[in-house]
Amino acid sequence: MSDSESKSIRLPEQFVQLQLGALKEIVDHHRADASCVQFDAEEVETVDGAAIQFLHAVAKLQADKKQDALVINACEVIANAISDMGLTDQISLNLAAEN
């Protein structure tokens, strides 16, 4: 896999602190062989501050490497949480289409 490829990681419906350990392992594995880590947030219904802080940390790591961190299919819950924490400049969002 080339460095220019991206990996998409689907976030769980209940994106809260309990899943962060497992998600970190997935991100660490994919970051090694992908220049852009994408989080698919289409199914997220619940998010907490720890989850958003995790996304912020990944975005910072990617920025330090001059790579992109992106949340795709961001639902309103994720978009609002990122905005409320003032992280819209650090985390790129691709909003999910309204149904």
What is the torsional sign of CA 13, 19, 20, 23?
negative
Q: What's the mean per-residue pLDDT of the chain?
A: 75
**pLDDT (mean) for 15-27:** 71
Delineate the domains of the chain, giving CATH numbers in brackets.
Answer: 10-95 (3.30.750.24)
CB 16 within 8 A of CB 50: yes
Tell me the pLDDT tens digit for each residue of 58-93: 777 777 777 666 777 888 888 888 888 888 877 778
| Four-point Cα dihedral 43, 12, 36, 98, nearest 10 | 10
Q: C-alpha distances in angstroms, 70 versus 28, 45, 56, 59? A: 15, 18, 10, 8
